[in-house]
Chains A and B, each alone.
Chain A
Amino acid sequence: AQSVAQPEDQVNVAEGNPLTVKCTYSVSGNPYLFWYVQYPNRGLQFLLKYITGDNLVKGSYGFEAEFNKSQTSFHLKKPSALVSDSALYFCAVRAKAAGNKLTFGGGTRVLVKP
């Protein structure tokens, strides 16, 4: 079975400071990893993905994530956070053997203070 852990329920950061949202995963075989962001009463918006290739993945809105196979992690980062980045962030994983079925982490709420 595949699983995702987001150890922090909430991350607080001052505007302009670096932002990191942690994610670790467990899956059989090579993982496909994703980050999504959700604003209140909205669906999820795709930020970035790792399928294969370069371990550092760049995505939308200045976000990036680094795939670390030895640590089974896929932490989301942004060098300089904006107040508008305040939202709920989900890490997700799927294995090729699981078809297109995604497993989500519990979510991390990011609060960027001015």
Chain B
Amino acid sequence: GAVVSQHPSRVICKSGTSVKIECRSLDFQATTMFWYRQFPKQSLMLMATSNEGSKATYEQGVEKDKFLINHASLTLSTLTVTSAHPEDSSFYICSAVGTGGEAFFGQGTRLTVV
């Protein structure tokens, strides 16, 4: 199946700093990618839809100024957590939809803000 690569897999940062997470579709082009957040022992919560060449679409309650999304090419979307706080600590996962309609997910990024 298609491969989506997410980097880094783990990151620890200090409060107030920004962290960038990359999501790449390695063997297919993705005009749309999705960013999810997952809390321990919970399901995935869709944060935003990343659209190549245009602004991201954010879900209700997600701060667009805090979670900056850039989809500069058909194979790369980035999520930047700005001015991170401990409550932003979470597992972030990206996905891209393949030609068969199924979503392929990155490995996830464990963010810890100290």
Contact = CB atoms under 8 A, between A and B. Distances in A.
Contact of A106 (B6, B43, B100): B43
Nearest to B103: A102
A107 B43 contact: yes
A45 B49 CA distance: 20
Contacts of A92: 103
Interface in A12-49: 32, 34, 36, 41-46, 49
Interface residues of B, number: 25
Nearest to A46: B102
Given A101-B34, A105-B43, A42 B103 contact: no
Interface string A86-114: 00001010000001111011110000000
A104 B105 CA distance: 13
A56 interface: no
B97 A36 contact: no
Given A36-B105, A46-B102, A102-B103, A107 B42 contact: yes
B1 A46 contact: yes
Decide if the interface of chain B is mainly helix, strand, loop or mixed. strand
Nearest to B49: A101
Contacts of A100: 32, 34, 97, 101, 103
A51 B102 CA distance: 9
A104 to B, nearest CB: 5
A55 B16 CA distance: 51
B44 interface: yes
B28 interface: no
Contacts of B42: 106-107
Interface stretch (B66-74, B77-85, B106-114): B106-114
B76 interface: no
Nearest to A36: B105
Interface of A: 32, 34, 36, 41-46, 49, 51, 90, 92, 99-102, 104-107
5 contacts: A34-B103, A46-B102, A90-B43, A90-B44, A102-B34
Nearest 6 CB-CB pairings of A with B: A43-B105, A44-B105, A100-B97, A43-B108, A43-B107, A106-B43
